[in-house]
Amino acid sequence: MKKLRYVCKKTKYTLFGNKNLLSEDICDLCYRSAEARKNTIFFCLKGAHTDGHNFAAEAYKNGARIFVCEHILPLPQDALQIIAKNSRFALAEFSAEFFDHPETKLKLIGITGTKGKSSVCEMIFHILTQAGKKAASIGTLGIKIGDYTEETQNSTPESYVLYKAFAKMLSLGVEYVAMEVSSQAVMQHRVHGLHFIAAVFTNLSRDHIGDGEHPNFEHYKACKKAIFKSADMAFINADSPYAAEFAKVACRVQTYGTENADFTAKNINNFCSKNFFGVSFLCRAKNGDFYVNLPIPGDFSVCNALAAISVCRHLGIGAEACYSALATVHVRGRFELVETKRRDITCIIDYAHNGESLRTVLGTLREYARRRIICVFGSVGGRTQIRRRELALAADELADICIVTSDNPDSEPPEEIIGEIAEYISPKKCFCITDRAQAVRCALEMAESGDFLLFAGKGHEEYQLICGKKLPFSERELIKKYAEYSFLGLNQI
């Protein structure tokens, strides 16, 4: 436990209510009213759709007496209200003090960009681990420390979750942490106070703009740039049209890409065998050239691998350790092959959930496809109609059959989302099926020998978000199940 006056010492605030509680021993911090109890501090966080200030009374009933809020609340007089300009900003500062600044004893590597964050994060983690370094990762795929994995709510968790994870990592002897840094995490001060020894820029395209997200592209871009201002070294994708703009805000820069970069890829060659895809290339760098065989196809995978190589070589990892690790790397839900009893077809799941990422994955499949591509996809609720249009146009251009279904509709009627997407797809190739499980079944029943089936949008996720609830949903298991039925010729399930 720590005294409240110690935990809040770095934060600017005014006090209202029971000031005697400044000497109170604090056992934990929380921002969900259900987790509030005696000797916890409840933080009233404002979100896109909810406001924690509205749950302060419930937190009080559950035992909390100390509140961090942005305005005075109608709470009983025995409560202490710590009025801060921004509750999320305060949460980061309180968390750092509560956990004794574990971030200062770790070497943090931040990865940002529209696409590729998870893959680059996983590749860096895999290389470091295979090279014998004590490493961890934080991102869309969860918090990973060795073989231990913990699910996260966001690509970049709330600051409290980050600092708690850092403290655990430190206790387990972790030295390096590769972590995704989303633009919303920057906007919501989740990474406030963190210093990165390396920051990676993957790419930038128009996404996450609209209600509850970024107001415009410039704001989105500015949030992406923020982590480079104080990073020790920036690793910039030279192939991006925004490379020079991002490099300007960094202190020191190394580049990677296909042309005119510190780390370049030459002799790129996609290869495949039965149910196996990959790409090989020559990594050319000042400190020596070496070949890489990557079990994930596509130019985007080459770029992600170059980002990971450039960071790890900077950290002193040898070329041999890099290429041997990358030969065995797999990123869950990213161009992931699903083995089924249907050996005559190829099933792939991928997290592609916007137009550009779907176009990239389908374009890569087109290089391999001998027959048809069947694409099963949808779009999440609460996003702009522009994203749905872009998803539809990509699928309409590059897939032979489009099965439009639910993704994570949340509180939005899935039929409306599906209808918006279907408007932009040729009726001859478009099938609309609201139930995603039935959409998976339909795709496998339609599949003919030699077809490629892409199940896009869910990727690593093991749930569907419907009306605020995460309902169990494993697309991977459904594919295996329905492929077996179609293999046995059982169409009635």
Question: What pLDDT, in 10s, does the model give residues 249-269?
Answer: 988 999 999 888 999 999 998
Between 9 and 67, the more confident residue is: 67
% of the chain residues with pLDDT over 70: 95
pLDDT-wise least confident of 179-188, 208-217, 380-389: 208-217
What tokens were used for 383?
A: 């996003």
Query: What pLDDT, on the 0 to 100 scale, is given for residue 210?
Result: 61
Q: Which residue has the higher pLDDT, 209 or 67?
A: 67
Residue 246 contacts residue 201 (beta carbons within 8 Å): yes
**CA–CA separation, 214 vs 219, rounded Å?**
6
> Who has greater pLDDT, 370 or 82?
82
Q: What is the pLDDT of residue 342?
A: 87
Would you state the pLDDT for residue 263? 96
d(C-alpha 98, C-alpha 160), whole Å: 9
> Mean of the pLDDT values across residues 58-81?
97
Q: What is the pTM of this model?
A: 0.88
Residue carrying the six token digits 């500015």: 222
- Reported as a single tens digit per residue, the pLDDT across 402-451 is 999 999 998 899 999 999 999 999 999 999 999 999 999 999 999 999 99
Asked whether the predicted pLDDT for residue 493 surpasses 60, the reply is no
Residue 208 is predicted with a pLDDT of: 59
- Rounded Cα distance, 100 and 80, in Å: 23
CB 169 within 8 A of CB 106: yes
Question: For residue range 307-344, what is the model confidence (pLDDT) as tens digits?
Answer: 999 999 999 999 999 999 999 998 888 889 898 888 88
d(CA 13, CA 99): 20
What DSSP assignment string belongs to 95-122? Answer: HHHHTT-GGGGSEEEEEESSS-HHHHHH
Q: Which of 471, 459, 462 is nearest to 122 (CA)?
A: 459
Give the chain's domains with CATH numbers. 2-98 (3.40.1390.10), 102-326 (3.40.1190.10), 336-488 (3.90.190.20)
- The first and second tokens of residue 392, run together, are 């539809």
Is 70 exceeded by the pLDDT of residue 491?
no
Residue 39 and residue 62: Cα distance in Å, rounded? 11
CA dist 78 → 16, 17, 27, 56, 82 (Å):
10, 7, 18, 14, 13
Give CA–CA dist 57/60, Å, rounded: 5
pLDDT-derived band at 492 (thresholds 50, 70, 90) equals very low
Contacts of 238 (CB under 8 A, 6+ apart): 255, 256, 257, 259, 260, 261
Residue-wise DSSP of 426-471: -TTTEEE-SSHHHHHHHHHHH--TT-EEEEES-TT--EEEETTEEE
Tens of pLDDT along 443-467?
999 999 999 999 999 989 888 999 8
Element spanning 199, H or E: strand 196-201
Element (H, E) at 306: helix 299-314
Please state, rounded to an integer, the average pLDDT across all residues of the chain: 91
The whole-number pLDDT of residue 235 equals 97
- DSSP three-state, residue 67: strand
